[in-house]
Chain A
């Protein structure tokens, strides 16, 4: 009688790791916890079940989207004038622990997402070593097939963004570290306005956000399907909803550089 012998890979891997640890303890060899943990993590993630991998990507992706909404709400305080944004910035500075925990969680989500994204993309590319001479796509889109590229553009943009507004090392003369508002607070508002009056900087933002919008117009419904949250009836609705949410995020975020660039916000 046939039985299911294929053990779940993650379970066997961690079991192997435990056995290895035990033998090390018996033989008196000192384990190297950091290196070992890292090796185990790499092994567990690399040989994880394909659906589990996609759920890690989808889960981290959705968490990053949740962050995008929170970040957007904060950013929109710019439209309340210099008082709005600077008050918000100062409010964040009153709770460094919360901010640092938040940053840590987001960084972790991002790293996991990219780690799985690269892994999954390499696996997918190697699954078809010889390509078709003639290929006609029926349902997939250029956007869905370019997730790795839009993702990498977002990652590149993120580095620029952090250097620009978080580390403020890109344009030190106009950083909030030197600018002060009328109340003597770091003038984040002025830093942002001066930053986006720069054409190149605004173009960078538009490109990054466009890539993000493309990424999410596939990513949102893909993540829902990955978690099994779609049926034959609801999938087309979710595909459209993903497009609309990605578009809304794009317009809401770009409203800031655009309104500054055209001079509506000074």
Chain B
């Protein structure tokens, strides 16, 4: 099939950018979205043009590096799927596809579709850890953890930190990301003692990085390729409330 791509092209952080129309010819429905872009890039290189710069790494939906807003939805139209796992059979011959980078003040653009997401790392650095040494790996079942808690912690830990929640949020808020990182620790005995304080410092770090506040639009949950639920945001909020009640 043949497609009309409208791709955001921008040479550098301070250069002007614009949507450029690029044809994708002879696209196989079995290709992944990134493979389609690879072929487009090969042709661009043959024509002596600059290839489209985009982020990718594992291409199996676990690293969270691929970051494209496809037709107005981060990671494209298919639910719970990263861009690299999206297949071209989701599109029809002759379709127009808009491809844009994650848009947020906290994600400065590097080139074309690549943005700098280190602000997310700095949110983790602010408090996404336990400050007590836990030693080597403990024996299995040495620390008893109720099954529902373990399940919730694992669900939160599914976050791959791709930033789709930020890209989807009308406020450019990283609340779902922060909530997942707070919750994965808060549900477990090792993370519990510092949970309330951690929630405060990580949300403080979030706004300091220039992310917006949460307005409970729940757009993030719909965009998350790992299906992280907004109930983790409620959990984060409870931890902040706890901190306020205990006045930390």
Contact = CB atoms under 8 A, between A and B. Distances in A.
Interface of A: 1-4, 6, 8-9, 49-55, 120, 123-124, 126-140, 144-145, 147, 218, 221-222, 225-232, 235
Contacts of A218: 216
B100 A128 contact: no
A144 B216 contact: yes
25 contacts: A8-B243, A49-B240, A50-B203, A50-B204, A50-B214, A51-B203, A51-B214, A51-B240, A51-B241, A120-B213, A124-B173, A124-B215, A127-B105, A127-B171, A128-B105, A128-B171, A133-B98, A133-B100, A139-B219, A144-B215, A145-B170, A145-B217, A222-B215, A227-B237, A228-B234
B216 A127 contact: no
A93 B133 CA distance: 66
Nearest to B125: A2
Contacts of A4: 126-127, 131, 194, 197-198, 201
A231 B172 contact: no
Interface in B97-146: 98, 100, 103-106, 125-127, 129, 131, 133
B105 A124 contact: no
Closest 5 CB pairs of A and B: A228-B238, A127-B212, A136-B72, A138-B222, A127-B172
B237 A139 contact: no
Contact of B204 (A9, A128, A132, A138): A9
B168 interface: yes
Given A126-B105, A140-B218, A132 B213 contact: no
Interface residues of B, number: 62
Given A127-B171, A128-B172, A145-B217, A51 B106 contact: no
B45 to A, nearest CB: 25
A4 B216 CA distance: 28
A109 to B, nearest CB: 18
B113 to A, nearest CB: 13
B56 interface: no
A32 to B, nearest CB: 28
A51 B199 contact: yes
Contacts of B236: 51, 228
Contacts of A227: 237-238, 241
Given A6-B205, A8-B204, A127-B173, A138 B73 contact: yes
Q: Is the interface of A mostly helix, strand, loop or mixed?
A: loop
B66 interface: no
B219 A137 contact: yes
A138 B241 CA distance: 29
Interface stretch (B28-36, B87-95, B225-233): B225-233
Contacts of A229: 234
Contacts of A230: 231, 234
Contacts of B204: 6, 8-9, 49-50
Contacts of B199: 51
B19 interface: yes
B122 to A, nearest CB: 11
Contact of B248 (A8, A124, A135): A8
B98 A134 contact: yes
Given A51-B240, A126-B105, A127-B106, 16 more contacts: A1-B131, A51-B237, A51-B241, A123-B171, A128-B104, A128-B105, A128-B171, A132-B103, A137-B170, A225-B230, A225-B233, A227-B238, A228-B235, A228-B237, A229-B234, A235-B234
Contact of A129 (B105, B197, B221, B237): B105
Contacts of B2: none
B214 A140 contact: no
